[in-house]
Amino acid sequence: MKQFISLLAVLSVCFCSCAQQEPSEISAETPKKVNYVTEVVIPEISIPWGMEFLPDGSILVTEKTGTLIHFKDGKKITIKGLPEIYLRGQGGLMDIKLHPNYEETGWIYFSHASAEGEGDGGNTAIIRAKLNENSLTNVEQLYKGVPNTKKGQHFGSRIEFDKEGYLYFSIGDRGNRDVNPQDITRDGGKIYRLNADGSIPIDNPFVNNEGAKQAIFSYGHRNPQGMAMHPKTGAIWVNEHGPKGGDEINIVAKGKNFGWPVISYGVNYSGTTFTEITEKEGMEQPLFYWVPSIAPSGMAFVTSNNYKSWKNSVLVGSLKFQYLERLVLKNNKVVKREKLFEGLGRFRNIKQAPNGYLYAGVEGVGIVKIVPDSF
């Protein structure tokens, strides 16, 4: 069933702090109101974490509670064959990504929380599989974070390919901020890079460091839940949850340390401080940060002519405030912020489909197509 929701989205600028510019540099013009129409394409999904579009136009959706949905010809089909999904806190079935040459290879990549391995609890795993009718086949685990832990926070996890075909994914610090993010011999608080078959690229930054996790590409991250490749530069961008304040956007770079928790623009949830510094030599500054935190999730670059006034901007879902945020960029600086669809729900994911339209995963609503009405 398709349901149409007509929304008048007031594109309002929000106050923020930013590591690369002063708040006064962010445009405070009052944008004109724009009418939008949203179509609920796939209804009644509790937490639609990830989605991908198959060549035939059908959609694969991961439901955090452990269900893989194939939406085709107006029907929701449950796909069998997933490995056991560890459900705890923020962990479950998470992201999904097609191989860049999917029509040739047939590989589909997933991130999920897994209890495999030693110890109680779970950690983030990356698998790939092929879709045969209504079942997954050829399931292979490519990476599994260790150790397992019963902590329910900060599994990450997003997946992205770059233009060279490398596979990137995130694992959050797993609630162990004082140990994992700054230690390259441990999983957690990292962005990882693999070849598409799961092997380690020979030029990964820590392949020659004794004891290091050789899949690590960058470290010092907290909990990256958004990841997208810049359509022009090919760089991998991530957004990540800070504590209370200090959510960030970072451009991932080989071997770089992004500082968590040594430097941060946030504080503990109680309001107390855990660090006195926001910058340090040898640690990267964020491209942008939010204060207060918006709890960013999915992220997408807009390149489609279907959204001419949005083109080349970045969309980020806000879980905390339940809106979609548009960031206007100039020379890799955010010059304007706009809130879209306030109150629609927790935006877990946002994607630009091959047909040029934007689709969002909204918790409790489902998959929503965004149709521009007055551009």
Mean pLDDT throughout 353-363?
Answer: 97
- For 187, counting Cβ atoms within 10 Å of its Cβ (0-12 exposed, 13-18 middle, 19+ buried), the class is buried
236 forms beta bridges with: 229
Take residue 3 and report the two structure tokens written for it. Answer: 């349901």
Burial-class residue 317 by CB neighbours within 10 Å (0-12, 13-18, 19+). buried
Q: 35 pLDDT band (50/70/90 cuts)?
A: low
Cα distance between residue 274 and residue 186, in whole Å: 22
Fold of 80-294: Neuraminidase (2.120.10)
Structure tokens at 330: 């100039």
Q: What angle do CA 330, 335, 339 make, to 5 degrees?
A: 125
- Strand order from edge to edge, sheet including 123-132: 93-98, 107-114, 123-132, 135-144
DSSP 50-86: EEEE-TTS-EEEEETTTEEEEEETTEEEEEB-PPPPP
Name the residue ranges covered by the structural domains of the chain: 1-39+301-375, 80-294
DSSP-H helix ranges across the chain: 102-105
Q: Is the pLDDT of residue 34 over 60?
A: no
Residue (of 53, 51, 56, 55) closest to 67 by Cα position: 51
**Its pTM surpasses 0.85:** yes
As annotated, the active-site residues are 154
Q: What is the largest CA-CA distance in the chain?
A: 58
Over the stretch 202-236, which tens digit does the pLDDT of each residue have?
Answer: 999 999 999 999 999 999 999 999 999 999 999 99
- pLDDT, tens only, 57-80: 999 999 999 999 999 999 999 999
pLDDT confidence tier of residue 169, bands split at 50, 70 and 90? very high
